[in-house]
Chains A and B, each alone.
Chain A
Amino acid sequence: MKYKSQRVAYLFFALSLTLFSLQIIYGFIMGFAHMGYDVLHDLIPFNAARATHLNLLVVWLLSGFMGAAYYIIPAEAEREIWSEKLAIVQWAALALTGVTAIVGFHFGWWEGRKFLEIPRPLDYLVVIDVLAFIFNVGMTALNGKRFTTTSIVLLLGLTAAALLYLPGMITFESQVLDSYFRWWVVHLWVEGVWELIMGGIMAFLLIQLTGVDREVIEKWLYVIVGFTFLSGILGIGHHYYYIGTPEYWLWIGGIFSALEPLAFLGMALYAVGMARLGGMNHPNRIALFWTVGCGIMSFVGAGFLGIAHTIPQVNIWTHGTLITAMHGHLAFWGAYVMIVLAMIAYAMPQMTGRKLYTGWLPEAAFWVSNIGMLGMTGAFAVAGVTQVYMERRIGMDFMAVQDAVQVHFGGVVLAATLLSIGIGMYIWNFVQYGLPNDEAVLSDS
């Protein structure tokens, strides 16, 4: 760590991991409910657990992105953060807003719109908070010694993500229009601007960890995010097949979303390629594991499992089934969870000056959590395929089919236990690092 103020990233990372743990707990509540043990129904009905699970994910990933930006932008711009105080205030506000929203869900204070359940008054707080954040990192970058491509892509992603939150705040009386603009947020985030954020963080990590020339890494970064938008913007059509929007979306969405995996394939080849080019010599091997793993798993989860149900002829059967849950889990994990965990794995030794990246613990955390997540995906897949055939293609009753797939949720819960053990190890490693300290400043790159 070169600049003292980079340490604020720690606050964001700690918040991320705390909320991540909570998210997993709510996941278990739903897993058990699907198995037939909805024992908490009267306290936390399924829809409350679900809103909490999803929004915790969004908030902790945002917190992770913010932490990453507070670490990366000063390093790239070669100066301290514009205002460390603002960063701390903005962190506290994010934590408070997030926690208020989560608590509110348990009392029915929400909007019943998947992923955008946060009630309107809190939406405004989120927007103000994100603007303060962007202002802070933006000023850091603008007043820095250099404005690198990595910073540009990262800032562009963050700013666009903030702007795209707005269409989700318009009120509609029609379910169709509501849905149409809800996807502007959800789809254009995860298959658009968040990929810029992911790409920016990945480029930074690859530059630091592989020693490959910055020019080469940043050139390919442009190519990959170019592919993202080329396919991803019109790829939104895969959500406009069956919600009351015109028929031309069937082929526009089909063609362009089928091209989306190219961007993720690019991301995977990029990470693996640069790691090979640079040799795996950096002592923090585990950070490189998470980085390269992110490239590969995002291709599997988003690219491969995405294309598996994105063609309209397939989607007509899978739309609104557990197949979507299968894909959603591995896509979020591979692309966004892993990039945040990679960033934390890289930044912790830098911020604390301790080199706790060797030994069995961090490596076991990586393998166990990944195997757990793959297992969950597999269990969702079996349940999803069964549902598609029995309910959608044969025409059996919904609940009869749910009873038939209950057993696969036993599989989901078992695999989720493995995942939790892995994440537990990761968090234990994080705690062992302790707090950032001033001696770490300037210690090494």
Chain B
Amino acid sequence: MLSKSQARWFFVGGTVFFFAIFLFLTFDTLREIPARQNSEAMTESVVRGKHLWDAKNCMGCHTILGEGAYYAPELTRVVERRGKEWIAIFLRDPEAMFPGQRRMTQYDFSEGEIQDVVAFLDWIGGIDTNGFPATPDLGRALVVAIEAPTTAPEYFGTVCVACHTVAGSGGTVGPALDGVGNRMTRAELDRWLSDPQAVKPGTAMPNLSLPDTTRGELVDWLVSLR
């Protein structure tokens, strides 16, 4: 039968042996991480974004690399999913984007800080995570990808489509925009996009502070939806 001193040696020996292996693997892992995480792309902006991420404890609601809390969306691939522009607009006023839904804290970030957070999320998206998060494998046929028609201006595809559908694809916060050219004139559309609140106080459509050229492109395209 096993004696107590044999048992003790099993404990001490096993611990020392496996801890030594662990230290060796850690050494190797630290050597490989720079390439896998794309250290060269870690700009100062990314680092500032990481500090904001920590300081605000975003991980207390979200997961990133699958770690954190399960109250808000996984953000590892959020830049790929939503686009940088959309995220920047969202962060300015999170509740405007999803009125009435589960609430995210309103941070009064400066524009620079928003760019830093976005840069951080963008950098995260480039890490080699061995395939996490995995592509859904069961319902590919069930899911309609949120995609704007190819004729749409780029801005529509990155931001507006989160709230509006066109040709059956897009978000449902705002009305479908099919045929909007029949309902609204060029001037009305332009005024609406410049400042929705001025046209209809209290509306859930956010003021996106669009540059004139972008607004022009969007209006041209919207008018053509008949």
- B1-49 residues with Cβ-Cβ distance < 8 A to A are 2-4, 7-8, 10-11, 14-15, 18-19, 21-22, 25-26, 28-30, 32-33, 36-37, 39, 42, 47
| B32:A246 contact, CB within 8 angstroms | yes
| A234:B67 contact, CB within 8 angstroms | no
Q: Using CB atoms, name the residue of chain A closest to B52.
A: A112
Q: Using CB atoms, name the residue of chain B closest to A398.
A: B73
CA distance A111 to B50 in the complex (A): 11
Q: Which residues of B contact A233 (CB under 8 A)?
A: 15, 18-19, 21-22
Q: Using CB atoms, name the residue of chain B closest to A38.
A: B103
| A392:B134 contact, CB within 8 angstroms | yes
Q: Using CB atoms, name the residue of chain A closest to B7.
A: A222
| B18:A215 contact, CB within 8 angstroms | no
A-B contact count (CB 8 A): 207
| B57:A51 contact, CB within 8 angstroms | yes
Q: Using CB atoms, name the residue of chain B closest to A182.
A: B67
B65: Cβ under 8 A from any A Cβ: yes
In the assembled complex, the CB of A62 is this many whole angstroms from the nearest CB of chain B, namely 21
| B66:A242 contact, CB within 8 angstroms | yes
| A241:B139 contact, CB within 8 angstroms | no
Ordered by A's residue number, 13 sampled pairs between the chains whose C-beta atoms are within 8 Å are A36-B102, A112-B53, A173-B42, A175-B124, A215-B4, A223-B2, A226-B10, A226-B15, A230-B15, A233-B22, A240-B29, A244-B33, A319-B132
* Residues of A that sit less than 8 Å from B by CB: 30, 33-34, 36, 38, 41, 45-48, 50-51, 108, 110-114, 117, 149, 173-177, 179-180, 215, 218-220, 222-223, 225-226, 229-230, 233-234, 236, 240-250, 252, 316-317, 319-322, 324-325, 387, 389, 392-396, 398-399, 402
B98: Cβ under 8 A from any A Cβ: yes
- B207-223 residues with Cβ-Cβ distance < 8 A to A are none
| B139:A395 contact, CB within 8 angstroms | yes
Q: Which of B11, B33, B56 neighbours the largest number of chain A CB atoms within 10 Å of its CB?
A: B11
Q: Which of A113, A236, A242, A324 neighbours the largest number of chain B CB atoms within 10 Å of its CB?
A: A242
- Given known contacts A46-B69, A233-B22, A317-B134, A243 and B129 CB-to-CB distance under 8 angstroms: yes
| A250:B50 contact, CB within 8 angstroms | no
B127: Cβ under 8 A from any A Cβ: yes
In the assembled complex, the CB of A416 is this many whole angstroms from the nearest CB of chain B, namely 16
Q: Using CB atoms, name the residue of chain B closest to A33.
A: B71
| B69:A114 contact, CB within 8 angstroms | yes
B64: Cβ under 8 A from any A Cβ: yes
Lowest 6 CB-CB distances: which A-B pairs, in order? A47-B60, A395-B136, A320-B66, A394-B139, A242-B132, A112-B57
Q: Using CB atoms, name the residue of chain A closest to B28.
A: A246
Q: Which residues of A contact B101 (CB under 8 A)?
A: 399
CA distance A142 to B15 in the complex (A): 23
Q: Which residues of B contact A244 (CB under 8 A)?
A: 33, 36-37, 65, 127-129
CA distance A395 to B59 in the complex (A): 22
In the assembled complex, the CB of A440 is this many whole angstroms from the nearest CB of chain B, namely 33
CA distance A320 to B75 in the complex (A): 11
Q: Which residues of A contact B187 (CB under 8 A)?
A: none
Q: Using CB atoms, name the residue of chain B closest to A216.
A: B4
- Given known contacts A226-B15, A399-B101, A47 and B143 CB-to-CB distance under 8 angstroms: no
CA distance A394 to B37 in the complex (A): 28
- B98-143 residues with Cβ-Cβ distance < 8 A to A are 98, 101-103, 105, 124, 127-140, 142-143
| B33:A316 contact, CB within 8 angstroms | no
Q: Which of B10, B33, B70, B135 neighbours the largest number of chain A CB atoms within 10 Å of its CB?
A: B70
| A46:B67 contact, CB within 8 angstroms | no
- Given known contacts A223-B10, A241-B130, A46 and B65 CB-to-CB distance under 8 angstroms: no
Partner of A229, one of B11, B53, B139: B11
| A230:B18 contact, CB within 8 angstroms | yes
In the assembled complex, the CB of B156 is this many whole angstroms from the nearest CB of chain A, namely 20
| B22:A234 contact, CB within 8 angstroms | yes
Q: Which residues of A contact B195 (CB under 8 A)?
A: none
Extra contacts besides A234-B21, A320-B74 (5): CB < 8 Å: A48-B60, A113-B59, A176-B37, A229-B18, A395-B139
In the assembled complex, the CB of B70 is this many whole angstroms from the nearest CB of chain A, namely 5
| A112:B59 contact, CB within 8 angstroms | yes
CA distance A220 to B6 in the complex (A): 11
B58: Cβ under 8 A from any A Cβ: yes
B225: Cβ under 8 A from any A Cβ: no
B184: Cβ under 8 A from any A Cβ: no
Q: Which residues of A contact B10 (CB under 8 A)?
A: 222-223, 226
In the assembled complex, the CB of A86 is this many whole angstroms from the nearest CB of chain B, namely 30
Q: Using CB atoms, name the residue of chain A closest to B134.
A: A316
| A113:B36 contact, CB within 8 angstroms | no
Q: Which residues of B contact A250 (CB under 8 A)?
A: 130
Partner of B102, one of A114, A243, A399: A399
